[in-house]
Amino acid sequence: MGSASSAAVGAALLAVSCIAPPPPPGPSVTPATHTTESRRTGAAATSKTDDAPTAVGPWKKGQNPFIGVRFFSDPYSPARLQSVSLKDSEPPKAALFAKVADGGGADWIGEWSGNVENWVGKRVTLLHSKGALPIFIVYNVPKRDCGQYSTGGIEKGEAYKKWIAAFATGIGNRRAAVILEPDALGLLKKCLSEVDQKERLELLRFAVHSFASLGNTAVYIDAGNSDWIKAPEMAERLKGAGIDEADGFALNVSNYKTTESSIQFGKDLSNRLKGKHFVIDTSRNGKGPPDSCKDPEGESCWCNPPGRGLGVLPTAQTADPLVDAYLWLKKPGESDGACNGGPKAGSFWPEQALDLAKNAVF
C-alpha cells in the first residue's frame, strides 16, 4: 500500500467541519513561508509577516501556486478542539495537540461528502474569506484502494465523470489546488484488469482536464512514494494519467518517507516528465519510516507505525526548485486503518496525534 490507506474515508472527517457552525472570530490561518521570488518565473513574491487574512487572487499558470498563500488550520478540527478543552487542565498536552492542529491539512473529498458541488463551493468561499488557499484531495475513483482499509469510491466511470464535473463547478474560477486520487496509480496493476486499468487512466485524464480547464486551479497527480513504484514505471503511468496537462505530481501522501528520499525520487521522475514540479506530504515524515520497515508495501511501514513525528509545517520554501511546496495533505492523528491498535481509516486517534507531536521536528 503506497499511501497508508490514504485515511479519509468516513463522515467523521467532516464532522468537525467549519462549514456547518460559523467559525469563531480569528481562526488560525498559518502563513506560508516562501522564497523571495518565484522559482518558476522569477516574479516577485510579496512577503507576509502578519496574521491578517490576505486576498486569494488569481493565479497565473507557470508560477508556483503556493507562493504567497496561507494554509488553513480548522478551528473545529479534532486536534484543535482537544487543545482548547485541555488548555487549563493539562497545558502540556494541550500544547501537543496545538502542534498537530497548527499545520492544518487538506480536505479529502469522496463519497461521504454529499452534494460535492455544494460542499466544495462553500468550503472555497469559507477559506477564501480567511485569506487561505483551498487544498482538496480528490478521492473517489472506482475500485479505490483495491478493497483495503480505504476501500470505496464511486461505482461507475460515467458517474465519476459527473462527480468530477460537479466538483469542478463547485470551485469555478476561484483559486484552489487539487491532489488527484492517492494510490490510484500506485495500485493500478495490483487489482485491476487491463480493461479497468485503461478506464482508470482515462478517468484520471478527464479529472486533470476538468480541473486544469478552470484556469485558477493547480492540479497534481498522486505518484506514490519513493519506495513503491520505480521511477521509469511511475513516469509512464503519470503520462497515461495526463501529467502533461497537470501542474505536477504529489509524493508521500499519507506516508512516512523522508523529505530527502522524496526529493531524490521526485527529481528522477521530473527528469522523465519534461521537468514537471511536485509537492511532498511532510505531515508525518519528521522521523521517516520505522527502522523495522523492510517491505515498503508491508503494513509495518505505513499503517500506524509508532514513534513517528510531525514533519515541517506547510511552506513554499523548499530545498529544491522543483519542489513547489511541503504540504500537510494527510491530517496528522487520523488513523491509517484498523492496524497497530488504531481505529478505522480516517478516524481521529488522539494517542497517535500525541505521539507524532512529541516527536515533531519543530
Residues catalogued as catalytic? 145, 183, 336
Residues 38, 280: Cα–Cα separation, whole Å: 18
Locate all alpha helices (DSSP H) within 41-144, ordered by sequence: 78-86, 91-102, 116-129
**Going by C-beta distance under 8 Å and a sequence separation of 6 or more, which residues neighbour residue 104?**
30, 71, 72, 73, 74, 77, 314, 328, 331
CA quadruple 177, 182, 185, 191: dihedral sign: negative
Q: CA torsion angle for 130, 250, 9, 338 (degrees, to 10)? A: -120
Q: What is the DSSP code string of 189-228? A: TTS--HHHHHHHHHHHHHHHHHHHTTSSEEEEEE---TTS
Q: How many helices (H) and strands (E) does the chain have?
A: 9, 9
Query: CA dihedral defined by 165, 166, 169, 170, rounded to 10 degrees?
Result: -140
**Cell 473529498, located at residue:** 109
Q: How far apart are the first and last CA of the chain?
A: 28
d(CA 277, CA 323) in angstroms, rounded, equals 6
